[in-house]
Structure formats: structure tokens, C-alpha cells
């Protein structure tokens, strides 16, 4: 008998055993985070050998599949949920969010329409409204849950494209871009490349991007933006930053947004992790005036610590948002009293991401979320200062929120930047190979540096101390 054929009365035991094995392996993984090495240790060839099995003709028992999958990927996973993983801005999975995400898989809802999953539609509606309130965005702001900030950018910039062209009498959803009035995008020169990718995906082309140079503090100056806006009356979208990738720099929204909007431009904010500063009194000043902008993006799988993947798009002009996304088909059931996610998202078939977001927000509450932001800020600063104080280390950039940069100096007489770059990379590689902590490298302003990123609810003061000692040990070895 094929193991994939359903037999009445038998499926319950088969499912139970497979899911039981998955739960056992899941707990073993989570409970081992504190003692296991953090970075992946297997090479790509190792993983291909382990996973590249011949596909069976008749299938394999589900529990066996789970056991063998766990064995085959062992050594090929980054333990990014660990409190000592600082390589990228990645959360650690709150317990309520993990549990809700497991249930999301079991419930297996297509969260495209209210009709295909009423509960998924309503939980997303509620969670989105909670977030809008937490970020103190205008009450009329619409929202969409996407795969991440990348597609949230696409969603927001599609709304922006609709709005700025509609002002010039052009319906882009009907007529397309061929023959449309030109659009230019004025963007912070230190932006994340997901913005450029979104611009490409929307057919605007990266040649439409004009970079706004930043000052030494990483921010766009008011006169720089005003001058750029005055050079042309072309339809314009301005892209600002709430949390630059390396130093967590924030543009001065309270100064820049009024200038842009007075010129008729749409103001979009990349807030992949920085928008969460709004949820904490200690960091709220970083995003002063951000509510004056027109659209905002963020990731829930960063500061909110939900499992991958979940991004969120917010748009002040709900009509432009809906016009950019909605479709009309006779076979789609409609209920005017309910919210259909397909009217706000680029995806048709989609995972019910709202359950994990809802659960995470309920677990944390307002105070818990505020404490999480404040705690990660404290840990980021402690790491930058503690590592920077080690012999042979140098602070490159302190942190205003959760990011910072350090580098490691070559002890050679007459060492040049090239020597410091090589030593920095060697130290990072040694730390990650030893497995006590994990950091990433970056080229910043022409120099190699080690980036420190903190957004995990699991990180403790002890984790910070252990990570600093891991860096000290690596410096001794290199």
C-alpha cells in the first residue's frame, strides 16, 4: 500500500506520529540554542550529498521523512533564534507566535479572501489596526500583510505610482506605463537595495532614481531635498529611511515630509526595523514626524519576533492603495461588510500571516513591545562599547537603536586600511567558526567592518557578555 493513500481510520495515527516527531525535533532545536554552535557548519556539497536522495517510487512513511529531514539538514541551519546571533536583523520567534504559526500550517487557510477564511481575514484586520495604533499612524491608513519589506515596498510604491500619475490624469492600472508621464524617485543614498528592486518590479526602472546625498550623520538635509524638488515638476516619490542598515540612522521626517508634500511629492518610508522605534518612549524621538509621510513599510519577523515571513505595508491614502492592488472577477465572492485581503496585497493565494502577528502582539502587549525595543537598544550599545574597548578593536559607528559597527586593526607596523580590512574579516570568520556568537561583515564607506544587529527577544545580558568574550578569544587567535 502506498503511504500517501488515505485509508479510513488509519490517517489519524499516521498524522499523529509524524506531527509528534516534528514537535520532538522542534523542542530539541529550541532547547539546544544556548549550547549549540550558532553558525551553519556544513558546506554546500555536504548538504547536497545529504539531501540529494533518489526520489522513491512509492513514497516514505511521514514520520520517517521528518526524522531523515532533520538528520540531513543538521549542520546546515543557522541558529538565528539564538540570543547570540547578531549577523542580521532577525527575530527569535516568540512562543505565542511560534505556536500560532504551527496552527496556521495545520489550519492551512488561503488568506486571500474573507470567503476562503473568515477568521484569517478578521484576525489580519484586527492585528493591522493594532499596529497602526501602536505606530501612531493616521486613522485612515490602510495596511497589507506581505512576505516582507521587499513586497511591502512594492505595495506602497504601487500606491504611490497610482496617486502621482492620477494627479496628472493617467490611470496606470488601465493604461499601463507606455506613454505615461515620467516619474522620478528621490531616495536617500544609503537606502536598502530592496527599494531599487521594488522600483524595477513596478516598471519604473532604476534610472528613475535620483540619489539624495547624505550628510556625515547619514541623514538627508532639508536644503538638499528642497533643491532636488525644485529642479523639476515631474511626478515625484521621495523615499526616506527609518533605520539605515549599518548605523540605524533615521531621516528627519518632521523636517523633510512637509517640504516634500508641499511640492506635491509622495513620501515613502523604509522602516523595515526602524518603524518599531515608535512603539517605545525611549526611542520615539527617532521617528518624530514620521506620521506626516504617505506610506510606510516594516517587518514583523524582525522586532515583533514572529517566524518568517511577514512584512507590513501601510498607506495613508487607502483609495490609492486599493486601486493599485484590487482585482475584479465574477467568480470572486464579495461581502461588503468584510475585508478581502486581495484588495490590498499583491498575492492572490497567501499564507494567513495574521495569526502569528496577532499572537505576538497579545503576548507582548504595549509594555512588552516597548520593553523589547528598549532592551535590544541597550544590548546593541553594550556590544558596540564592549567590543570596541577590546585591544585591537575600534568603534566605527555607535547605535541609535539596534545596529552598530566595529572593526579590528592589524598590529603590523605601518598597517594600511587593506590590512585592517583583512584582519576584520579574519576575526569575523574566527568568531563564526568557533560558534559561540555570530556576526556579519560589511563594507562601509570603503572599509570592512563587523556589523552588530540586535532584535531578538531571547538576547540577555549574559549573551552579550559571552559574545564579547567570544570576540576577545578570536582576537587572541588571529
Query: DSSP letters along 457-477, please?
Result: TT--HHHHHHHHHHHHHHHHH
- Residue with C-alpha cell 513620501? 267
Helix (H, G, I), strand (E, B) or coil at 241: strand
Structural domain total, the chain: 2
Other beta carbons less than 10 A from residue 289's beta carbon: 14
Taking CB atoms within 8 Å and a gap of at least 24, the contacts of 343-348 are 344/142, 344/143, 344/144, 344/155, 344/313, 345/112, 345/144, 345/145, 345/146, 345/155, 346/146, 346/151, 346/154, 346/155, 346/158, 347/112, 347/146, 347/147, 347/151, 348/112
Residue 337: per-residue pLDDT = 82
Give the domain extent around 53: 11-79
Last residue in a domain, options 79, 114, 133: 79
Q: Is 386 contained in some domain?
A: no
CA 16 to chain centre: 34
Q: Is 469 contained in some domain?
A: no
Asked whether 37 and 435 are in contact (CB, 8 A), the reply is: yes
Q: Is 372 contained in some domain?
A: no
| Same domain as 105, residue 62 | no
Q: Which helix (H) or strand (E) holds 86?
A: strand 85-86
| Same domain as 187, residue 298 | yes
| Same domain as 319, residue 195 | yes
Last residue in a domain, options 363, 385, 413: 363
| Same domain as 144, residue 33 | no
Residue 1: per-residue pLDDT = 41
| Same domain as 245, residue 196 | yes
Residue 208: per-residue pLDDT = 98
Residue 180: per-residue pLDDT = 98
Last residue in a domain, options 345, 363, 381: 363
Q: Is 442 contained in some domain?
A: no
- Residue with C-alpha cell 506620521? 291
Round to whole Å and give the CA distance between 305 and 94: 6
Per-residue pLDDT of the chain (478 residues; tens, 9 = 90+): 445 555 555 668 999 999 999 999 999 999 999 888 999 999 999 999 999 999 999 999 999 999 999 999 999 999 999 999 999 999 999 999 999 999 999 999 999 999 999 999 999 999 999 999 999 999 999 999 999 999 999 999 999 999 999 999 999 999 999 999 999 999 999 999 999 999 999 999 999 999 999 999 999 999 999 999 999 899 999 999 999 999 999 999 999 999 999 999 999 999 999 999 999 999 999 999 999 999 999 999 999 999 999 999 999 999 999 999 998 654 455 656 889 999 999 999 999 999 999 999 999 999 999 999 999 999 999 999 999 999 999 999 998 999 999 999 999 999 999 999 999 999 999 999 999 999 999 999 999 999 999 999 999 999 999 999 999 999 999 9
Q: Is 110 contained in some domain?
A: yes
Q: Is 383 contained in some domain?
A: no
| Same domain as 108, residue 27 | no
| Same domain as 106, residue 74 | no
Residue 274: per-residue pLDDT = 98
CATH number of residue 238's parent domain? 3.40.640.10
Residue 329: per-residue pLDDT = 55
Asked whether 475 and 393 are in contact (CB, 8 A), the reply is: yes
Residue 17, C-alpha cell as written in the block: 506520529
| Same domain as 217, residue 337 | yes
Q: Is 453 contained in some domain?
A: no
Distances (CA, A) of 320 to 25, 153, 390, 473: 46, 14, 52, 55
Residue 429: per-residue pLDDT = 98
Residue 3: per-residue pLDDT = 54
Q: Is 388 contained in some domain?
A: no
| Same domain as 63, residue 120 | no
| Same domain as 303, residue 269 | yes
- List Cβ neighbours of 115 (8 Å cut-off, separation of 6 or more): 332, 333, 335, 340
Region of residue 231 (phi > 0: left; psi between -120 and 50: alpha; otherwise: beta): alpha
Round to whole Å and give the CA distance between 270 and 295: 9
- List Cβ neighbours of 146 (8 Å cut-off, separation of 6 or more): 152, 154, 155, 310, 311, 312, 313, 345, 346, 347
Residue 35: per-residue pLDDT = 87
| Same domain as 180, residue 208 | yes
| Same domain as 186, residue 126 | yes
DSSP state of 284: G
Amino acid at each position: 500500500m502506498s503511504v500517501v493513500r488515505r485509508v479510513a481510520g488509519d490517517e489519524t495515527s499516521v498524522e499523529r506520529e509524524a506531527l509528534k516527531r516534528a514537535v520532538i525535533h522542534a523542542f530539541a532545536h529550541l532547547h539546544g540554542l544556548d549550547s549549540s554552535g550558532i553558525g551553519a557548519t556544513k558546506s554546500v556539497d555536504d548538504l547536497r550529498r545529504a539531501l540529494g536522495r533518489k526520489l522513491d517510487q512509492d513514497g516514505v512513511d511521514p514520520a520517517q521523512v521528518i526524522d531523515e529531514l532533520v538528520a540531513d539538514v543538521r549542520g546546515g541551519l543557522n541558529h538565528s533564534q539564538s540570543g547570540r546571533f547578531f549577523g542580521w536583523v532577525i527575530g527569535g520567534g516568540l512562543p505565542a507566535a511560534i505556536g500560532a504559526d504551527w496552527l496556521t500550517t495545520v489550519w492551512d487557510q488561503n488568506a486571500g479572501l474573507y470567503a476562503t477564511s473568515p477568521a484569517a481575514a478578521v484576525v489580519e484586520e484586527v492585528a493591522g489596526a493594532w499596529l497602526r495604533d501602536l505606530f501612531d499612524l493616521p486613522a485612515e491608513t490602510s495596511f497589507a500583510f506581505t512576505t516582507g519589506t521587499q513586497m511591502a515596498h512594492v505595495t506602497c510604491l504601487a500606491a504611490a505610482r497610482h496617486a502621482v500619475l492620477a494627479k496628472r490624469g493617467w490611470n496606470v492600472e488601465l493604461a499601463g506605463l507606455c506613454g505615461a508621464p515620467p516619474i522620478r524617485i528621490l531616495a536617500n543614498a544609503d537606502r536598502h537595495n530592496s527599494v531599487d528592486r521594488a522600483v524595477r518590479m513596478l516598471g519604473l526602472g532604476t534610472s528613475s532614481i535620483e540619489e539624495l546625498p547624505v550628510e556625515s550623520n547619514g541623514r538627508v538635509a532639508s536644503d538638499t531635498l528642497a533643491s532636488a524638488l525644485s529642479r523639476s515638476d515631474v511626478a515625484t516619490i521621495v523615499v526616506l529611511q527609518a533605520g539605515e542598515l549599518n548605523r540605524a540612522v533615521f531621516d528627519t521626517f518632521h523636517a523633510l515630509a512637509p517640504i516634500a508634500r508641499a511640492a506635491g511629492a509622495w513620501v515613502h518610508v523604509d522602516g523595515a526595523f526602524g518603524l518599531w522605534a515608535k512603539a517605545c518612549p525611549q526611542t520615539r524621538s527617532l521617528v518624530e514626524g514620521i506620521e506626516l509621510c504617505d506610506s510606510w513599510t516594516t517587518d514583523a519577523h524582525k522586532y515583533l519576533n514572529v517566524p518568517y515571513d511577514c512584512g507590513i505595508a501601510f498607506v495613508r491614502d487607502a483609495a490609492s492603495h486599493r486601486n493599485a492592488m484590487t482585482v475584479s472577477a465574477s467568480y470572486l465572492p464579495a461581502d461588503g461588510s468584510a475585508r478581502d485581503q486581495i484588495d490590498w496585497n499583491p498575492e492572490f493565494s497567501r499564507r494567513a500571516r495574521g495569526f502569528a502577528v496577532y499572537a505576538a502582539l497579545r503576548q507582548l502587549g504595549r509594555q512588552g513591545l516597548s520593553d523589547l525595543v528598549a532592551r535590544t537598544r541597550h544590548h546593541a550599545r553594550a556590544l558596540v562599547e564592549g567590543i570596541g574597548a577590546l585591544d585591537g578593536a575600534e568603534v566605527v559607528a555607535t547605535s541609535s537603536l539596534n545596529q552598530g559597527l566595529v572593526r579590528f586593526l592589524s598590529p603590523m607596523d605601518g598597517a594600511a586600511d587593506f590590512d585592517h580590512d583583512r584582519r576584520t574579516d579574519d576575526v569575523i570568520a574566527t568568531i563564526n567558526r568557533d560558534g559561540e556568537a555570530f556576526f556579519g561583515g560589511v563594507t562601509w564607506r570603503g572599509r570592512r567592518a563587523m556589523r552588530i544587529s540586535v532584535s531578538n527577544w531571547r538576547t540577555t545580558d549574559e549573551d552579550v557578555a559571552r559574545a564579547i568574550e567570544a570576540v576577545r578569544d578570536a582576537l587572541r587567535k588571529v
